[in-house]
Structure 1
């Protein structure tokens, strides 16, 4: 199992992103991830690429519906170029509220739009590399290579970049099995992955005539670790609570019989706003995150071995967590899991040579 970490970047100077990525690489992590919260994840991964030599650079996630697929393909190709082929392109629809408020669009018809979006991404890379490609005349997107290419081809480290699709609903998970290189999600408990994600990935792969093993399972797991257990729990309550109120997060909680905790959390959130997350039910935290003292957190991580291919430890960052707290939480993740991550990479390298 590869182990990565998200770089805290909602607040604090964006110039520090590269330094954090370098620290994660030196600690032994396989990957570093950035996310789209007021900051462009492609810019974050560019900063990380310039400061590192080995780690995989993941967008987890970049919003698809706020940018054209050709623009996204070009941005991903830039990072792949700068990094020498280390880009891991995680995409999702984008937050519906943000799409409406800021981008003059919406998240309607996600299945058809994402299906065509993935097709256009790959056609875009083919066109950039060769100056030629097939056309696509879809219901939501069109791609037509001009009859004359005045710019010539673009040198790319790879003609196709791995695409990870954020999918929590059954039909989107099936689409992932049909077309994507990886599934990426959150609250990915072993029960959820084994009983929900895998069956739908396999169904989608079967429709496309693919081997399900071609689709990597990647998960961003909320991780809050500290020698001070209550401090770790406090940070995790805010992050887990924020995610649990969303329908996709609530779905995983329901699978574990925690509907009552989500209902109470939503009721409190409607009355109090984000302050309600400070009282998130500890059952949600214990079930849906890797939280506790370093020893407890290492034990919880071990349960994902053989279930998740690529586990990304997600640093708490949501309000009211401030930049200094996120930085401390990130440092604790590096200290707690760096040795495990490095050992996992060494084992993987030995297996690849065998």
Structure 2
């Protein structure tokens, strides 16, 4: 049985998110992931939570470093109270070029920095809930002052799940050591990669911290090509080819290519972006690569495809919502089969 999270298009803004979330809830999804890319992830989460009654809503993933842990803690606390305990805080580092050049923020040592980010959030939450004097002093973050006037006080559901996105070995082990869960990047979801690379690193982190493996959730975020019929599936297949071409132009995502012996494809994609030839990226992504990274099948087939591919590897998975609401009934049947 999987918990199934709906995805949200990165282009969706605050005007559409409430209806999107209500629709996901009506279709039987367990949760909804909202992005933090073109629009603000915390704002989208607030609107999605306000529009629903049962659905869990998480950020997937909030770009952490441009935001102070204190401002994120206050927002997360408010969202958890607003929703009656349905908010999940997913955090990620993004890449150095974006942090420094897009956000004009500091990129230092991303693994220790994100570790301290999570630890400082927990210290702040403890102060909010129990009035514990705030004293977190690390290499990257230091919080030693929280006057009673600024403390929002206890809430009914203070245990906000803290999940992290991770790609590299050190980050994945760090997630195993301290986080409540990991959200996989789309490039890290081939079953072979999960079994031989990702899960051993998570287990290593868990063992080093003396944690029970049951304490950690793994949410898979595969790219999926699905639809009402083969024509719709084929269209989605080509969309995912374009997206994979873009993603694999970034060297940070090449380890999964290397597992299959396709590292030269990554270098070729990067060279094309440096020449400004973005339109040529999809041609580099072969059908063999797509088959490894993108499960495909109609709504009648896709639940069984995903079960066969990921059984025993994770407890949660993301699934795309149809663009056409007329397809919601067929997609909802696939979701029900995934959850069964």
For normalisation by structure 1, the TM-score amounts to 0.86
Match of 1:267 among 243, 267, 271: 271
Cα deviation digits, residues 297-329 of structure 1 (max 9, x gap): 3343122122121111357xxxxxxxxxx835x
The match for 2:177 is 178
1:246-286: CA deviation from partner (whole Å, max 9, x where unpaired): 23432112212322433333333333433123323222222
Deviation per residue, 1:50-84 (Å, 9 max, x gap):
11111110110101101011111111122211211
- What is the CA–CA distance in structure 1 between the aligned matches of 2:219 and 2:184, rounded to whole Å? 7
In structure 2, distance between residues paired with 1:102 and 1:264: 25
1:339 alignment counterpart: 333
Alignment of structure 1 residues 1-354 onto 2, 5 Å: 1-11=2-12, 13-146=13-146, 148-151=147-150, 153-186=152-185, 187=187, 188-226=189-227, 227=229, 228=231, 229-279=233-283, 280-295=285-300, 297-302=302-307, 303-313=309-319, 327-328=323-324, 334-345=328-339, 347=340
* Native 8 Å contact 1:221 1:289 kept in 2: yes
Question: Kindly tell me: are residues 114 and 243 of structure 1, through their superposed partners in 2, closer, same or farther at Cα, counting changes over 3 Å?
Answer: same
How many residue pairs were aligned? Answer: 332
Q: Hey, what's the Cα distance between the residues in 2 that align with 1:150 and 1:36?
A: 30
Asked whether the equivalents of residues 117 and 141 of structure 1 are also in contact (C-alpha less than 8 Å), the reply is: yes
Aligned equivalents of 1:296 and 1:257: distance in 2? 30
Answer yes or no: is the 8 Å Cα contact 2:218–2:315 preserved in 1: yes
Shift of 1:142: 0.6
The C-alpha deviation readout for 1:94-123, integer Å capped at 9, x for no partner, is: 332221123322332011111111111011
In 2 relative to 1, CA 264–336 (structure 1 residues): closer, same or farther, beyond 3 Å? farther
Q: SS state of the match for residue 116, structure 2?
A: helix
Distance 1:284 1:297 in 2: 19
State the shift of 1:337 in Å: 4.1
More displaced stretch, 176-185 vs 283-292: 283-292
CA distance in 2, matches of 1:295, 1:253: 30
Aligned match of 1:350: none
**Structure 1 pair 269/35, CA: closer, same or farther in 2 (3 Å)?**
same
How large is the Cα RMSD of the aligned pairs? 2.3
Distance 1:293 1:339, change over 3 A: closer
* Unaligned stretches of 5+ residues in structure 2: none
In 2 relative to 1, CA 335–118 (structure 1 residues): closer, same or farther, beyond 3 Å? Answer: same
Alignment TM-score, normalising by the size of structure 2: 0.89
Q: How far does residue 293 in structure 1 lie from its aligned partner after superposition? A: 3.5
Q: Are the structure 2 counterparts of residues 7 and 252 from structure 1 closer, same or farther at C-alpha, using a change threshold of 3 Å?
A: same
Deviation at residue 296 of structure 1 after TM alignment: 5.1
Cα distance per residue 1:198-247 (max 9 Å; x no partner) = 11111111111111221111121112323214312221111222222223
Judge conservation of contact 1:45–1:58 (CA < 8 Å) in 2. yes
Structure 1: any 5+ residue segments left out of the alignment? 316-325, 348-354
User: Is the contact made by 2:17 and 2:48 (CA closer than 8 Å) also made in structure 1?
Assistant: yes
Distance 1:32 1:341 in 2: 13
CA contact (8 A) 2:223 2:293 kept: yes
Return the offset for 1:339. 2.2
1:319 corresponds to: none
